[in-house]
Amino acid sequence: MYRREETEYWRAKMKAARSIAKGWVKPADLPNNAEIRDEIQLMARMIEGQSRNDNLYQMRIDALRMMRWLDRFHPRLIGSVLTGHIRSGSDIDLHLFSDSVPAVLSDLDHHGMPYELVVKQVNKDGANRTFKHLIVNDTFRFELTIYPLAARNEIQKSSITGRAIERASIAELEQFLALEYPDADLEQAIQASSEKPDRFQVFYSLLLPLENVRQDLRWHPEGDVLYHTLQVYDLVCDAVPYDEEMLLAALLHDVGKGIDATNHVMAGLEAVAGFVTERTAWLIEYHMLAHQLSDRTIGARARRRLEQNEWYEDLVLLGECDRAGRVPGAVTTELEDAIEYIRDLDRM
């Protein structure tokens, strides 16, 4: 469950029981959900260290920001962000109360928040119920569940503790944060959260125009820059599917061609500055030299300087994929799917 290979307690318990006991196990012999949750939190504290506390604070700030934006739908914060039981990849869970889903979507559109509407049929307490979820990808992933307005005062029970779900309104969350973080300037933190762009939205806005940037067919018979970029991304993903920095280097290596074709490397680096790591930036900066390495037109001193860098082998791989990603008619991953894949790696 910590690695999110399983998300449901019962399935996780049965899978573990089959692995350990190699046979049938009495349900009474299994740990309860609260015990599992506590062990997951122990793992999170051990593995994630101080970053877990930093993430928890920022997630609570982001939750309050979103709740204020959606205040007319009586938002309630529930789940791990409220209780503190977060781990790497945790969502921010909000309950909203409205009889108009389009009204909620309109407010999200107003704030420029991308979302996906998911409708689920669930059998709960012997009755089939329809749940409407909005998945919002911001700095953190939000899951907004929309309930009818009449359900605002209904008490819901936790599947973990069997007791009423802990939840907080805007006023209750503000009071909680003031007590939990007495030295923090919450208003300043919320303002900073509002102004901080989601880096993946920045990447998308830089990449999408590349489908209209044509290239010299002598070197790029495949066509536009975006099509080439996605081919390179797929090849790098096949080689190192869990290397977020390499995948971003593949996706962003030619992003400057949509800004300044005469010096696309420097233009691209300036555009992504502050949004990528030093390693990703280095790979973008030197990816053109990877071609000189391949055709042996690079000077001896420059070659030695690159070879002495710890990321030299990564640069060679990026260069190989850059040259191979020039196939007319190749099937590629969609841009949205590529960005979402890297976003999921970032959460992990």
Q: Which residues lie below 8 Å from residue 15, measured CB to CB, with a gap of 6+?
A: 6
H/E stretch holding 273 reads: none
Mean pLDDT calculated for residue range 215-225: 85
Distance from C-alpha of 180 to C-alpha of 95, rounded to nearest angstrom = 22
Torsion of CA 276, 319, 218, 272, to 10 degrees: 10
Could you give the residue range(s) of every CATH 3.30.460 domain in the chain?
A: 50-192
pLDDT digits (tens, 9 = 90+) for 182-200: 999 989 999 888 877 778 8
Q: What is the pTM of this model?
A: 0.59
What is the band of 154 on the pLDDT scale with cuts at 50, 70, 90? confident
Q: Give the H/E segment covering residue 124.
A: strand 115-124
Pick the CATH number of 50-192 from 2.115.10, 2.60.120, 1.10.3470, 3.30.460: 3.30.460
Q: At residue 48, does pLDDT exceed 90? A: no
d(CA 70, CA 68) in angstroms, rounded, equals 5
Residue 164's identity, in one-letter code, is A
What's the pLDDT score for residue 112? 79
For residue 199, with 0-12 CB atoms within 10 Å meaning exposed, 13-18 middle and 19 or more buried, which class applies? middle
Sign of CA dihedral 123, 126, 127, 129: negative
Residues of the chain with CATH 1.10.3210.10: 199-347
Query: 71 pLDDT band (50/70/90 cuts)?
Result: very high
- Long-range contacts, 308-312 (Cβ 8 Å, 24+): 309/282, 311/279, 311/282, 311/283
Of the options 3.40.50.1000, 1.10.3210.10, 3.30.310.80, 2.40.50.100, the CATH number for the domain spanning 199-347? 1.10.3210.10
CA 228 to chain centre: 24
